Amino acid sequence: MPFAAILGCADARVPTEMIFAKGCNELFVVRVAGNVLGRECLGSLRYAVAHFPKTLKLLVVLAHAKCGAVTEAVDVYLQPGRYLEIATDHSIRSIADQILVAVRVAASPSNSSTVTRLSLSQTAGPPFWRLPSS
């Protein structure tokens, strides 16, 4: 039974179980490009919380360096004409659109971050949440 539910990026190069030194079924892993929390991913995480209430103690958003989805979104922000390349592909455009929200926030004058140093934590949200103990 899983002790943690983890939202990880689909293009991460290391298996999540290896990072936590766990075997199959010891973690509930949801992977999606750019750690974008869409309806299906959120539903999967809610499923884990609802179906493993005795063992699940932790929700984690697991980031990694050089994320292809975040890099693409930053490139589209810096070169808006590139958006036309993904405009007709709804599935890829939806991932880029969600990440672009964080890119715009990071690039805003009121934010001290720069787009080139955009961290995945800004894209995916807080790194983890502890579930209340019963």
Over residues 44-65, the pLDDT tens digits come to: 999 999 999 999 999 999 888 8
Long-range contacts of 70-77 (CB under 8 A, 24+ apart): 70/34, 70/99, 70/103, 70/118, 70/120, 70/123, 72/96, 72/99, 73/34, 73/99, 73/100, 73/102, 73/103, 74/103, 74/115, 74/116, 74/118, 76/100, 77/103, 77/104, 77/107, 77/115
Q: Are residues 115 and 102 in the same domain?
A: yes
Mean pLDDT of 78-90: 91
Q: What's the pLDDT band for 128 if we cut at 50, 70, 90?
A: very low
Q: Are residues 102 and 76 in the same domain?
A: yes
CATH number at residue 46: 3.40.1050.10
When divided into structural domains, the chain yields a total of 2
Mean pLDDT of 40-46: 94
In this predicted structure, what is the pLDDT of residue 13?
84
Q: Are residues 116 and 126 in the same domain?
A: no
Q: Are residues 110 and 84 in the same domain?
A: yes
Q: Are residues 93 and 48 in the same domain?
A: no
Q: Are residues 11 and 55 in the same domain?
A: yes
Q: Are residues 56 and 96 in the same domain?
A: no
Q: Are residues 61 and 112 in the same domain?
A: no
Domain that holds residue 43: 4-65+122-130
Q: What's the pLDDT band for 111 if we cut at 50, 70, 90?
A: low
Q: What's the pLDDT band for 112 if we cut at 50, 70, 90?
A: low
